[in-house]
Structure 1
Amino acid sequence: MMPRRIAPPLRLAAALLLAAPAAARAQTADSVPAATACEEGRDLGSGVCVNAGLLVDGFANLRGGVRRGAVALGQLTAATTVDLGEALSPALDGWRFGASVVGIYGRQPTANLVGSLAAVSNAEALSAPRLSALWLERSWEDVLSLRAGQLAVDTEFTVAEAAENLVNGTFGWPVGLATSLPSGGVAYPFAAPGARLALGAPDKGTGLRIGVFSGDPAGRPGEGTDPQRHNRFGTTFSFSGGTFLIVEAVTGGTAEDGPRPWTAKLGAWTLRRGGFDSQRLDSAGLSLADPDAGPPRRFANNQGVYGVGEATLWREGPRNLALFARAFAQPGDRNLVSLQTDAGLAWRGAFGRDDETLSLGASLARIGRDARRLDQDAAAFGDARPERDHELVLEANYDVALAGGGLHLRPGLQWLLHPAARAIDDREPGRPLKNAVVAGLRLQAGF
């Protein structure tokens, strides 16, 4: 089925209609009084909640990568959720509606400065206003919840709460999935038609999440086309690229406020009828490095498994120390990255200061066996180039809350070893990209 398109003026009008009231009257969840009835944002009464935020990132590449230099980008978000039972009629109790938009402007630090697989900023994307989410939900508290519409996988699945302050994108939507799925997967900055079923209470206790989404959120971009340009405004409601199914089982301790004492998640995903190229062989079994090789062998399906663990080691009032660890595995014959692991900590109330948080993270993405063997084959055929191995991301940042929590300042440092797993540096043929050191500063505000 061909993706449905909406004319650009209508896209912009819809985005402005959704964003205007929220941006004018909302504030972020961090600055909401404890008495609010909203899970996020400000309660406007009659079951209507709104929130909006402004994020500004600045990055300077101090050494290595693609080039030295500095770039900046901004992100404006606005969202609303409506309890339809309270806003319209008691007959609609248990029904909710949600919508959100995002606007991005600026230069992307990964492509311009570093060249890594992992996104230096989890906010970077092609400059454009985008429809982020549009959904309708029916829920029975702690029993069942069904949400359907324009959704993103990374808002609920694969998440580690202790990693939320880390800026590098791989600590949110992992490189292991971003490099395996069409157009990077149904994750920021994309959303796609889908549905999510939650059984039990996965956010507070034990439960199960099941998601079904369109396989390619960009809607069949052409060869060599940037998927974000193909779906620039987020309104290409694509049903192409097969069907992406993800299942996540969750269990853990409970907490009245603050982080849960511990959480464990086990997940699996599959993409049916998506079409995936072999990393090494053509349809006749020849290496793709062989001058006589034909088109790559195609696989109809793809799949993977993952696990997430979190634990709060210490807690005293608003202060706590939480750890997280995640692992993602997928077949190396059709995926560039076959294994990714990451881990880190969040120390809230660092050094006795309640409004400050120290976050540390490390992520290792290992290139699959077939992709590594292709590099060996290329060398055997006389194409001298580095053998790709892995990419390692190390990040440290320190978040300071100002203005009563409505404004956050977060300086940080990232060290990216083997960017793009030792991909060739175009400036020095035959040599890999050099390790990069990136300094960053994030300003985040709620309205």
Structure 2
Amino acid sequence: MHRPATLLLGFLFIGSAWAQEDKKTDDLKPADPDTGESTVEETTLGLLPRPFERWGIKFAATYIGEALGNPSGGLKRGSVYEGRLNLAVDVDFEKLAGLRELTFHANMFQIHGGGLSRGALLNFMDVSGIEALPSTRLYEAWFERKWGSHLALRAGQLAADTEFMTAKYTDVFTNASLGWPAGLSLNLPGGGPSPPLAAVGARLRADLSDNLTVLGAVFNGDSAGPGPDDPQLRNRYGVNFRINDPPLVLGEAQFLWNAKKGDPGLDGKIKLGGWRHFGLFNDQRFDGAGVSLADTASNGMPGLLRGDFGLYAVAEQKIYRVGGDDDRGIGVFARASYSPPDRNLINYYADTGIEFIGLTDGRPKDKFGVAAAYAHVSPRARALDLDFQRLVAPARPARSFEGLLTAVYQYEIRAGWTLQPNFQFIVHPGGGATNPLSSLPGKALKNAEVFGLRTVLKF
């Protein structure tokens, strides 16, 4: 483990973050990986002492607790309570030690409770962004350094979901796929660098102009490492610090308009990006000899294909502003992605939605959102299901797609404390059936209704 430590110390003196006073700062602040809210914001309950802030050290704690239940659909009916405590520290080394434009961020999770998607629904798009196996684990730990006001390097143990394929108006939603989309989480090893597993890597960000930003990042391609069991068990405490697996590379260009605070026009953004993984991926239908995995002549081991990639686009636009307030109003978003079908379970993914923020003067911080998402089962995976129909059981269902409709209201009880009732309707959980190679081969899954109540407290 001395190699990652050496890597981090090396980056300490070559690369960090800056904060321009415009809307682009939404993408730059260290954020809670599920609420999307900055861990360094002052809007808290004010329960934590702040004796070290004059030295550039800030501590933050965010607790998310929620109850979820599905009265119908999925594999079975169920209800759970789950929670996650996020403890974070941010250090400004210019205040602490005179090292200009150098910062540090780290956070850890204490995760407890059950998971409704894992235990009862078996769907693709997890109904909660905090669903994970119970554990206490390190999540992120990175340094960031800037050059001037337009270039920044971040390095250490990083997450990708706070910067890549993000949309500003998804922050109110509680479904995990409206944060880190299923087109990435289901196709990348271990779900990719996203909660609850970040990965060792580095990210370079450049603001080329007020209207154009580019990002590039390289990560260790599997934060848990290879193995047949759950990746969260292989990296139970978030301290594997793996650096020898085939890499994952991401790139994104962001085109902005009306991006400055106070611009009279309505702000918006288009993002175009992609990823490339250099590891081996399982064929979704055939073994190494080209025989269907449903055939008794197959050895039962999926064929291995070299490398994988994905392309994506994001659009977001504010369509109404309340007075001169840059934060309040109505915003819309849409995202879409593609990955090759022979080695990916999901080849097409798309979501879209609308968010209403502080429309009344009496409730300026309340939010309401409605969204829909679609995850298409790749033709290669569906062909395997049809092989099982033909060769094993004619009545066995074939997977097609999973759809999601969701509505969420976020009510601010007081600064730092919110309550979020939410509803999700899941069409064809798991594509309509379980994986034919799983422990529940080809089990039909019915449409599900999920009711939830989440509370978020920032101390």
SS of 1:347's partner is: strand
Is 1:261 aligned to 2:267, yes or no?
A: yes
- Tell me the equivalent position of 2:280: 275
Is 1:360 aligned to 2:367, yes or no?
A: no
State which of 283, 287, 296 in structure 2 corresponds to 1:291. 296
State which of 28, 31, 39 in structure 1 corresponds to 2:43. 31
Deviation at 1:323, TM superposition (A): 0.3
SS of 1:370's partner is: helix
Per-residue CA distance 1:147-176 (angstroms, 9 max, x = gap): 110111112111111001100000111111
Deviation at 1:42, TM superposition (A): 10
Report matched runs for 1:101-140 at 5 Å.
Answer: 101-140=108-147
Q: Aligned equivalents of 2:294 and 2:314: distance in 1?
A: 37
Amino acid paired to 2:338: A
Deviation at 1:383, TM superposition (A): 2.6
Q: Aligned equivalents of 1:429 and 1:198: distance in 2?
A: 45
Q: Aligned equivalents of 1:193 and 1:428: distance in 2?
A: 34
Q: Aligned equivalents of 2:302 and 2:440: distance in 1?
A: 28
Deviation at 1:271, TM superposition (A): 0.4
Is 1:303 aligned to 2:309, yes or no?
A: yes
Is 1:174 aligned to 2:185, yes or no?
A: no
Deviation at 1:27, TM superposition (A): 7.7
Is 1:396 aligned to 2:407, yes or no?
A: yes
State which of 369, 375, 387 in structure 1 corresponds to 2:379. 369
Per-residue CA distance 1:343-371 (angstroms, 9 max, x = gap): 00110124663232111111100011111
Q: Aligned equivalents of 1:69 and 1:257: distance in 2?
A: 48
State which of 413, 430, 446 in structure 2 corresponds to 1:434. 446
Q: Aligned equivalents of 2:230 and 2:454: distance in 1?
A: 26
Q: Aligned equivalents of 1:214 and 1:100: distance in 2?
A: 19
Contact 1:57 1:440 in 2 (8 A): yes
Q: Aligned equivalents of 2:310 and 2:207: distance in 1?
A: 24
Residues 377 and 334 (structure 1), Cα distance of their counterparts in 2 relative to 1, 3 Å cut: same
- Stretch of structure 1 that moved more, 115-124 or 248-257: 248-257
Deviation at 1:3, TM superposition (A): 10
Q: Aligned equivalents of 1:424 and 1:162: distance in 2?
A: 32
State which of 81, 94, 101 in structure 1 corresponds to 2:101. 94
Deviation at 1:257, TM superposition (A): 6.7
- Tell me the equivalent position of 2:218: 212
Is 1:249 aligned to 2:246, yes or no?
A: no
- Tell me the equivalent position of 1:13: none
Contact 2:75 2:120 in 1 (8 A): yes
Q: Aligned equivalents of 2:95 and 2:4: distance in 1?
A: 33
Residues 78 and 111 (structure 1), Cα distance of their counterparts in 2 relative to 1, 3 Å cut: same
State which of 220, 233, 247 in structure 1 corresponds to 2:237. 233
Q: Aligned equivalents of 2:221 and 2:231: distance in 1?
A: 13
Q: Aligned equivalents of 1:379 and 1:415: distance in 2?
A: 28
SS of 1:241's partner is: coil
- Tell me the equivalent position of 1:445: 457
SS of 1:138's partner is: strand
Amino acid paired to 2:384: L
Contact 2:122 2:434 in 1 (8 A): no
- Tell me the equivalent position of 1:327: 336
- Tell me the equivalent position of 2:56: 47
SS of 2:200's partner is: strand
Structure 1 portions without partners, runs of 5+: 6-25, 34-40
Structure 2 portions without partners, runs of 5+: 6-37
Contact 1:219 1:239 in 2 (8 A): no
Deviation at 1:205, TM superposition (A): 4.0
Deviation at 1:382, TM superposition (A): 2.9
Q: Aligned equivalents of 2:255 and 2:200: distance in 1?
A: 28
Q: CA-atom RMSD, angstroms?
A: 2.7
Deviation at 1:283, TM superposition (A): 2.1
Amino acid paired to 1:77: N
Q: Aligned equivalents of 1:28 and 1:137: distance in 2?
A: 15
Residues 2 and 141 (structure 1), Cα distance of their counterparts in 2 relative to 1, 3 Å cut: closer
Amino acid paired to 1:134: A
Amino acid paired to 2:215: R
Deviation at 1:85, TM superposition (A): 1.5
- Tell me the equivalent position of 2:27: none
TM-score (norm 2): 0.84
Q: Aligned equivalents of 2:193 and 2:109: distance in 1?
A: 15
Amino acid paired to 1:392: G
Amino acid paired to 1:391: E
Q: Aligned equivalents of 1:313 and 1:82: distance in 2?
A: 37
Contact 2:44 2:417 in 1 (8 A): no
- Tell me the equivalent position of 2:18: none
Q: Aligned equivalents of 1:417 and 1:351: distance in 2?
A: 34
Contact 1:350 1:358 in 2 (8 A): no
- Stretch of structure 1 that moved more, 48-57 or 409-418: 48-57
Residues 343 and 193 (structure 1), Cα distance of their counterparts in 2 relative to 1, 3 Å cut: same
Q: Aligned equivalents of 2:286 and 2:78: distance in 1?
A: 39
Amino acid paired to 2:63: L
Contact 1:268 1:306 in 2 (8 A): yes
SS of 1:29's partner is: coil
Contact 2:294 2:392 in 1 (8 A): no
